[in-house]
Amino acid sequence: MLKKSLLILCAVLCFFMISCGENSKKITKPGDETDDTADTSSDAENPDSDGTDTEPAEEDPDGGESQDDPNADPDENNEDPDESNDDPVKETTVVVEPSPDFDTKTDALIVTRAEFAEVFKKFADFHTVTGIITKVVTVEDICENAVCDDNDPMNDTQKAIKDYVMSVEGLRYLVLGGDIEDIPSRKVHDHFELPLGIADYTDDFYSDLYYADFSNWDLNGNGTYAEDEDSPILVANIAVGRISVSTVEEAELYFSKLVKHYTAFNTAHTTKSLLLTNIATELSGIKVNSGYYFETEGKTISQIPANYSIKKLYTKSTPFPGNGTAGYLDNDNEKAAIEEGMNLIVHSGHGATWLLTCEQGDDPDRDFSGTMAYELENDTLPFFLSCACEAGQFVKQDSAGEKLMNAPKGGAIVYLGNTTTGLGIAGGSQFIDEMMKNMFAFPYSVIGESYIFAHLSMPQSDTFNPPIQMVNINVPVVNKDSWTWTKKSIIMLGDPMTVFWRDPVEPFAAEINPEVEENEGIKTVSFHFTPDLEGAALRVFAGDKLYDIPYIMHETVKINLDSAVETITVGIKAEDSQYFFKEFEI
């Protein structure tokens, strides 16, 4: 009997030693894989440690060092792979509560009219779920709580909008959702003169920078804005862009372009750029082609990465810039190049309200009209940066810039231009160069940040050495006059939150398939995180609530919604990919 009891005791002790040994497994919740046997003197806890294991080797009970028996059968004690002791990873379920960020933060604001509020709510939801919390406010709502007397320039709708925008804490981006008839711009007065009789202009024109620069533009209180004596600072505290649409259909069209740009950008076109130039001016009988500015060291071409292909179309002139790398500009070549698929287009030259690019004087072969821009059929929508005159204005009629943006089968995703006379190499080109520095500084960047950067960093003086034989003259082309004029006249048409893809990144490949259950007036929406979603940060907007859902492997995330909610908007931005965006009916 005693012998039998001893045998039982030995068996129990053996089992205990095996189950508590160093090879035993502990199941942990995903994301909490804490090893109870971990060395507590790790580098993280002991900054003086050099990472070298200084613990003595474990000894066996007989006093020798522990080691494997070289004569042991290699198959002995090995388990069949199909009978592994590893337990399957347990699925966890988490119910996510709404994020407080949507109630407390406003990164971007869309100001529009009541008739456009519903369509611009789509823009706001899109940006919110892809990382920029965006709200919509109507002019009607603003004016309900402010004086909007358009007969009084000191208390008009523009003043009320600017006051409201300045009151939004933490604001970074502003979208003016509509043409000037819906969202007014600020009329300003300015005078510009360059020495040597190069240029002398005086004009009253419209400026959307009024909303972005929080300084006082009517310091003397006479109702005339941005005069020299008013001393506006002329920097952009926020980025402002105008989505210049006149109908809900035009807004819907641009929204579809925007989503495609974020989620299905053609990576084959990422590193493709196009440079367009006209004759800038004439000095001593020599036609100065703007291509010479592009080719000058430190100027436009110097901002473009070496891995980019650069197609050059310069107006035919003598002398001709480019050292054999440029082709001749005409309407057919310009159209073909745009429709070939470009990520970036830079234009230094002339324009008019109805002409996107042109030569001074009547030259139909190089007058690329707004109608031609509207009829473009290009799958990839470029950032079109131009210093042309008036092609960005939005008062007399739909300008060439507006037609480019509203083209039904192509056009551009963002257009930078001027609402009045553009100064080309006397200011506009310098502003564009500064924008490009910022655009190419990051793998993907928000164009509004480049707009802000250019307003902060554009030089207040610059010179240019034109190609005049036997003469080496640095002609002054930017002074304080041209600096202030350029700042006021530049207009950005399009969404200032639009991403510029510097590097080729593929569209987001994973699928999102939410499951919906309804019970007692509550809709429960479930998302299951699969391995192909690793690194993703998912955002859901439902009703008026935002849900931030970080990726955790083998986790099912649920959100509980009121049964009245019929749609949810889902967005994802993962590293090294384009965005995911989709609206689901639930």
**Helix, strand or coil, per DSSP, at residue 396:** coil
492 touches 414 (CB < 8 A): yes
In a domain, 274, yes or no: yes
17 pLDDT more than 80 = no
58 pLDDT more than 70 = no
Query: What ranges in 421-579 are assigned the alpha helix state H?
Result: 428-439, 447-457, 480-489
**454 and 578 share one domain:** no
Q: In angstroms, how far is CA 231 from the centroid of its own chain?
A: 32
Q: In angstroms, how far is CA 325 from the centroid of its own chain?
A: 32
- pLDDT at residue number 387: 96
- pLDDT at residue number 440: 98
CA distance 7 to 568: 66
Query: How would DSSP label each residue in 306-369?
Result: TTSEEEEEE---SS-SSTT--EEP-HHHHHHHHHH--SEEEEESEEETTEEEE-SS--GGG-EE
**383 and 465 share one domain:** yes
**490 and 537 share one domain:** no
Which candidate, 382, 435, 378, places its Cα nearest to that of 274? 382
Q: Counting Cβ atoms within 10 Å, is residue 507 exposed (0-12), middle (13-18) or buried (19+)?
A: middle
In a domain, 282, yes or no: yes
**381 and 471 share one domain:** yes
Percentage of the residues of the chain whose pLDDT score is greater than 90: 71
Between 298 and 28, the higher pLDDT residue: 298
363 pLDDT more than 90 = no
Structural domains of the chain, count? 2
Find the CATH number of the domain harbouring 476.
3.40.50.1460
86 touches 148 (CB < 8 A): no
237 pLDDT more than 90 = yes
- pLDDT at residue number 147: 95
In a domain, 443, yes or no: yes
> What average pLDDT does the structure give for the chain?
86
494 touches 548 (CB < 8 A): no
CA distance 491 to 351: 14
**451 and 578 share one domain:** no
Copy the structure tokens of residue 64.
Answer: 């020798």
**256 and 290 share one domain:** yes
Copy the structure tokens of residue 326.
Answer: 């440029």
Task: Write out pLDDT tens, residues 157-183.
Answer: 999 999 999 999 999 999 999 999 999
Find the CATH number of the domain harbouring 540.
2.60.40
Find the mean pLDDT for residues 58-75: 43
- pLDDT at residue number 92: 82
183 touches 113 (CB < 8 A): yes
Find the mean pLDDT for residues 410-420: 98
**526 and 464 share one domain:** no
**475 and 518 share one domain:** no
DSSP secondary structure code for residue 97 in this structure: P
List of residues 6+ apart from 500 with CB closer than 8 A: 343, 344, 383, 439, 444, 445, 446, 447, 450
In a domain, 147, yes or no: no
**467 and 519 share one domain:** no
Count other C-beta atoms under 10 Å from residue 131's C-beta: 17
In a domain, 375, yes or no: yes
Pairing type for strands 579-585 and 279-283 reads: unpaired
209 pLDDT more than 80 = yes
Between 97 and 10, the higher pLDDT residue: 97
**538 and 420 share one domain:** no
Give me the half-sphere count of Cα atoms (radius 13 Å) on the Cβ side of residue 584.
19
Domain residues for the domain of 541 are: 93-101+512-585
**315 and 341 share one domain:** yes
Find the mean pLDDT for residues 497-511: 94
- Last residue of a domain, which of 482, 501, 520? 501
- Give the confidence band of 471 by pLDDT, cuts at 50, 70, 90: low
Task: Write out pLDDT tens, residues 256-288.
Answer: 999 999 999 999 999 999 999 999 988 777 889
In a domain, 296, yes or no: yes
In a domain, 83, yes or no: no
List of residues 6+ apart from 473 with CB closer than 8 A: 465, 466
Tell me the residue type at 444. Answer: Y
Highest mean pLDDT out of 80-84, 477-481, 529-533: 477-481
The kind and range of the H/E element at 276 are: strand 272-277
CA distance 533 to 28: 21
CA distance 313 to 427: 21
Task: Write out pLDDT tens, residues 298-334.
Answer: 999 999 999 999 999 999 999 999 999 999 999 999 9
Q: In angstroms, how far is CA 225 from the centroid of its own chain?
A: 31
φ, ψ for residue 397, nearest 5 deg? -165, 175
In a domain, 367, yes or no: yes
Helix and strand totals (H; E) in the chain: 14, 30
Find the mean pLDDT for residues 465-494: 87
**315 and 423 share one domain:** yes
CA distance 280 to 388: 10
- Give the confidence band of 352 by pLDDT, cuts at 50, 70, 90: very high
- Last residue of a domain, which of 438, 466, 501? 501
- Last residue of a domain, which of 476, 501, 526? 501
